[in-house]
Amino acid sequence: MVDSERFKGVNFCLNCGNSLEIKHDKEGKERPQCTKCGWIYYKNAVPAVAVVVLNEKNEILLVKRKFPPQQDFWALPSGYMEIWQTPEETAVCELQEETGLIGDVDRFIGYYMGFSPIYEKVLSLGFKMNITGGCLQAGDDAEDARFFGERDLPVIAFWSHIDFMQKCGIKIQKETPDEIQ
């Protein structure tokens, strides 16, 4: 992608409000830079967290997405990491916000670098979690929340979620449509 397209809409310095120009920085990379105060705009992947929760029947917890991207598809409870949160804190919060369940992190599953229709790139971090309380009910940006057996799995919204599920031993048996991300 041409850098001018990559930085489309990035016009003003967040430090002083001056116009930005795309120039080579000290590393030789083209980035929007302020000609007045020297502030540089760095475009980085956005961190997100997804959680894998299995119940006593080895069924996996999924939520039906209420909003884009991937509205009406099923996904792991997940969300973008806030600047004040650790990845583990994000996992605990997203689980409770989207499902009403309270849990704690069992282990880190891994990471997945993928496309984001909103932020261009997203770095997804997967966590296996255990339920410690709460009551299952859809909340926040989830239209529905429920457990599925391997044979009853719906189409999963994101490749990163499929990857985390497979790393936890869940076999994905359905074909996934081209439009998943």
Average pLDDT over residues 58-86: 95
Confidence (pLDDT) at 174: 63
Predicted confidence (pLDDT) at residue 177 exceeds the cutoff of 60 = no
Classify residue 164 by its DSSP letter: H
Q: Give the model confidence (pLDDT) of 11-29 as tens digits.
A: 999 999 999 999 998 899 9
Provide the whole-model pTM: 0.89
CA distance linking residue 28 with residue 64, whole number of Å: 44
Confidence (pLDDT) at 66: 95
In this structure, what are the phi and psi dihedrals at residue 163, rounded to the nearest 5 degrees?
-60, -45
**Mean pLDDT over the full length of the chain:** 92
The token pair at 71 is 């509205």
CA distance linking residue 99 with residue 168, whole number of Å: 20
| Residues 141 and 73 sit within 8 Å (Cβ to Cβ) | no
Confidence (pLDDT) at 172: 85
Average pLDDT over residues 136-141: 94
Residue 148: count of CB within 10 angstroms of its CB: 14
| Residues 69 and 118 sit within 8 Å (Cβ to Cβ) | yes
Question: Residue 5's pLDDT band (boundaries 50, 70, 90)?
Answer: confident
Residues 6+ apart with CB under 8 A from 80: 46, 47, 48, 90, 122
Predicted confidence (pLDDT) at residue 56 exceeds the cutoff of 70 = yes
Q: What count of residues does the chain have?
A: 181
In this structure, what are the phi and psi dihedrals at residue 147, rounded to the nearest 5 degrees?
-95, 145
Question: Residue 4's pLDDT band (boundaries 50, 70, 90)?
Answer: low
Question: Residue 119's pLDDT band (boundaries 50, 70, 90)?
Answer: confident
Partners of residue 121 on adjacent β-strands:
115
Measure Cα distances from 145 to 33, 79, 94, 142, 159 in Å.
45, 15, 13, 7, 19
